Amino acid sequence: MKEKKRAVITLILFTAVACFVAFAVLVGVGKWHRGKVSNIILGLDLEGGVSITYEADKGTSDQKMDDVREKLENRAQSFSTESNVYREGDLRIVVDIPGADDADAVLKSLGASGTIEFKTEDGNTVIDGKDISDAEAVIMTSKEKAGNDYEIKLTLNENGKNAFALATQKNIGKTISIVYDGKVICAPTVNDTINGGIAYITNMKSYDEAKKIATFIRIGALPVTLHEVRSNVVGAKLGSEAISTSLIAGAIGIALVILIMIILYRLPGVCSSLALVLYTGTVLLVINVLNITLTLPGVAGIILSIGMAVDANVIIFTRIREELTLGRSVGSAITTGFDKAMSAIIDGNVTTLIAAAILGKFGSGTIKGFAYTLAIGIVLSMITALFVTKNLLTAFVALGANDVKFFGKQKVLKPIAFVKNKVKFFIISLVCIAIGFAAMGVFKAKDGKVFNYGLDFVGGTSMTINFTKSVPTNSEIENLFADNLKVVAEVAPVVGEDAVVVKTNNLTEDERAKITKAIVEKYGIENGDIQVENISATVSSEMKQDAFIALSLAVTAMLIYIWFRFKSISFGFSAIFCLAHDVLIVLGVYAITRITVGNTFIACMLTIVGYSINATIVVFDRIRESLKTKKRTETIADVVDKSVTQTLTRSIYTSLTTFVMVLILYIMGVESIRQFSFPMMSGILCGTYSSVCVAGVLWYTLASKIDKGKYDKPVEDKKKKQDKVYEGNAIV
């Protein structure tokens, strides 16, 4: 009776939490409606807008960089109150303006230098920015009254000192207005002639007001030259299309995954589906509450975390079925199944979480977006798999769903001779990798490019033009660029869309504005139909370096963790080799298909790394467990064959559900979505192959050399009385 009461409470609690999350995501909770899905901050690649990165000359002080940031923020706010302006490193400032539809006006306004002028009442300019050395807010102790006076200390150079002394002498009793970018920000009255080049503007209402006006004065006097090193213009129309298709595709993908899980696992599938819906809503809620900007790589991170959430449930349900096959009761099978699945789930998720933490710490903006969403997804997926799903299952069993037919039994498979066929598997892998390298060599000889590099890797200007009518020929567009800008343009059609991508060397602001105007007038399209990206060679080199360093550190950390957890370096090296195997094959896919190696490439490779390492650890966890119960008559090869066979259904089902998610994105997504979904599908396939056919036999090969004799002694001698063990081909 107590169990039924507890079960009812569990279901009521789950329903309440699910309703709260659903309400928070769809409607919003609180004064500012935080959590509402429509309030999620979207990156420019999903929403559209303008992003530009400026770099100042070396030697520019922190104070001046902060002033520049303030200036750019003030200007960006005039285009959108949701603008985000922040410093990146010591000398760079990034300006993101979502939803901006007039890119040319934005870029011209941001790049223009600020002006500061001191004007008399009759409109004459006394001094300007070139005459000012510094301005700062100060607090002066007042002798006449209690408390402090807030003032601005103005320091002038030699030329400004003389001009200001003459002007103040002639305008005693009158005001001299301080004008920034044509707007009066302060109009102090001249009390006396000011000599010596030091002036104080008194009677400020507060220290904050004094600081703000001083900042405007310094901004207008800034002798800082800004260089545009990267810019990206995404039409709002293109951005909205990307996010709408992604949401629809994601919803369909999750629905199909739910259907597959219910068909495959019956009642446990229903419980995992309920948990998955709660998990998805919670991920969106947390991303919103933490003000994390969702980008295309972030979507990739969510997809991977959903795949891992499903994978955790598949591991658990497989274990439960194994226990039911041994004849255990449903309640006992659930408890034991969760306990036995715990180590594989924790190891797989912690390994990926380590990688996410390192990528978030050392990666660039693109990599950070991927890392943040992945980390959030991993933590929440572990919670839903190990607690929500378990409690739901236990509740349904307590309410009467305790028949084995609601769960099913694990099909007994005869161990497959993986070790015996290891040479064949190695040859297949080497051939696939060799084909990729051959393709790289062919394209290197053909056009000098191993891959179809995007701007993120080579720098330059790229324009994606969406046509409302028929698409012009490549030569026509090339001639348009040649006639207007005298540059050589490389034109490539976008498969499946009425659009082309045009790449050139770096174009200036004026050149980009000129060619955009020419395209709009000639083909009758809107500015929002044109996406422009501009990246300097310096930034592209840095992005490659950041990605390489972050990935190298992540792989090293994963190797150390696996070595520590499995108490053998052979497990660690085998996992890293399988990871390299999958990465090399996917690189071959990029080379053969000529999919752009750019922003989405980094996200795709990181996703594949996470997926690969997780799938491999599941196999290794079963091998480690089987070694603990190894019989005297069993060889290490027998253990490997048995363990890989036992995890075979998990590998297939997990790959199937994740593949379905990505396939829907590929079918329904815009070109930018397809740029990472197709390589990801190939990564899922080769990741499945490596975890099933390569990981175990590779460990066997390395362990026979590195750990020679370590696993030969049977464990059963230490414990003669053991529980029944699921052997894969018999119940003993």
Q: Considering only 229-233, 544-548, 646-650, which range has the smallest mean pLDDT? A: 544-548
Q: Indicate the CATH number for domain 2-38+247-406.
A: 1.20.1640.10
For residues 549 and 543, what is the distance between their CA atoms, to the nearest angstrom? 10
What pLDDT, on the 0 to 100 scale, is given for residue 130?
84
pLDDT for 170-213, tens place per residue? 999 999 999 987 889 899 999 999 988 999 998 888 888 898 88
What pLDDT, on the 0 to 100 scale, is given for residue 223?
67
Q: Which among 365, 239, 362, 231 has a CA at the least distance from the CA of 292?
A: 365
Region 518-542: mean pLDDT is 81
- Residue 319: count of CB within 10 angstroms of its CB: 24
What pLDDT, on the 0 to 100 scale, is given for residue 304?
67
pLDDT reading at 155 higher than 50? yes
What pLDDT, on the 0 to 100 scale, is given for residue 237?
59
For residues 184 and 119, what is the distance between their CA atoms, to the nearest angstrom? 10
Task: Give CA angle at 349 (363, 410), nearest 5°.
Answer: 145
Q: Considering only 148-157, 305-314, 327-336, which range has the smallest mean pLDDT? A: 305-314
Region 516-524: mean pLDDT is 90
The pTM of the full predicted model, rounded to 2 decimals, is 0.71
- For CATH 3.30.70.3220, list the domain ranges present in the chain: 44-110
* Band of residue 728 on the pLDDT scale cut at 50, 70, 90: very low
* Band of residue 723 on the pLDDT scale cut at 50, 70, 90: very low
Region 699-724: mean pLDDT is 65
State which of 263-277, 282-296, 403-417 shows the largest mean pLDDT.
263-277
For residues 609 and 474, what is the distance between their CA atoms, to the nearest angstrom? 37
Q: Indicate the CATH number for domain 44-110.
A: 3.30.70.3220
What pLDDT, on the 0 to 100 scale, is given for residue 719?
43
> Which pairs count as long-range contacts for 28-37, CB under 8 Å and 24+ apart, including other chains?
34/288, 34/289, 35/285, 35/288, 35/289, 36/288, 37/284, 37/288
List C-alpha distances in Å: 235 to 404, 465, 513, 524, 531.
55, 10, 14, 16, 6
Q: Considering only 183-187, 237-241, 305-309, 435-439, which range has the smallest mean pLDDT? A: 237-241
- Return the percentage of the chain with pLDDT > 70, whole number: 89
* Band of residue 146 on the pLDDT scale cut at 50, 70, 90: low
* Band of residue 144 on the pLDDT scale cut at 50, 70, 90: low
* Band of residue 267 on the pLDDT scale cut at 50, 70, 90: very high
List C-alpha distances in Å: 246 to 241, 304, 495, 557.
8, 15, 18, 33
- Residue 131: count of CB within 10 angstroms of its CB: 22
For residues 354 and 561, what is the distance between their CA atoms, to the nearest angstrom? 9
* Band of residue 417 on the pLDDT scale cut at 50, 70, 90: very high
Beta bridge partners of 184: 179
- CA 603 to mean position of chain CA atoms: 7
- Tell which wins on pLDDT, 66 or 145: 66
What pLDDT, on the 0 to 100 scale, is given for residue 365?
63
pLDDT reading at 667 higher than 50? yes
Residues 677 and 300 sit within 8 Å (Cβ to Cβ) = no
pLDDT for 356-412, tens place per residue? 788 777 766 666 777 788 888 888 888 888 889 999 999 999 998 888 888 888 777
Question: Does the domain formed by 460-535 have CATH 3.40.47.10?
Answer: no
pLDDT reading at 10 higher than 80? yes
Residues 425 and 701 sit within 8 Å (Cβ to Cβ) = no
Residue keyed to tokens 């002007």: 167
What pLDDT, on the 0 to 100 scale, is given for residue 574?
92
- Tell which wins on pLDDT, 717 or 326: 326
- For CATH 3.30.1360.200, list the domain ranges present in the chain: 116-220
pLDDT reading at 328 higher than 50? yes
What pLDDT, on the 0 to 100 scale, is given for residue 9?
92
pLDDT for 68-89, tens place per residue? 888 788 778 777 777 888 888 8
* Band of residue 481 on the pLDDT scale cut at 50, 70, 90: very high
Residue keyed to tokens 């293109």: 238
pLDDT reading at 464 higher than 60? yes
What pLDDT, on the 0 to 100 scale, is given for residue 729?
37
What pLDDT, on the 0 to 100 scale, is given for residue 717?
45
What mean pLDDT value characterizes the chain?
83
Residues 557 and 358 sit within 8 Å (Cβ to Cβ) = yes
CATH of the structural domain 422-436+539-712, one choice from 1.20.1640.10, 3.10.20.30, 1.10.3720.10, 3.30.70.270: 1.20.1640.10
Region 405-434: mean pLDDT is 91
For residues 509 and 356, what is the distance between their CA atoms, to the nearest angstrom? 37
- For CATH 1.20.1640.10, list the domain ranges present in the chain: 2-38+247-406, 422-436+539-712
pLDDT for 556-610, tens place per residue? 888 888 888 888 889 989 988 998 999 999 999 999 998 888 766 776 787 788 7
* Band of residue 713 on the pLDDT scale cut at 50, 70, 90: low
* Band of residue 245 on the pLDDT scale cut at 50, 70, 90: confident
For residues 34 and 24, what is the distance between their CA atoms, to the nearest angstrom? 8
* Band of residue 640 on the pLDDT scale cut at 50, 70, 90: very high
pLDDT for 98-141, tens place per residue? 777 666 677 777 766 667 899 999 889 999 888 888 888 998 87
Fold of 116-220: Gyrase A; domain 2 (3.30.1360)
pLDDT reading at 671 higher than 80? no
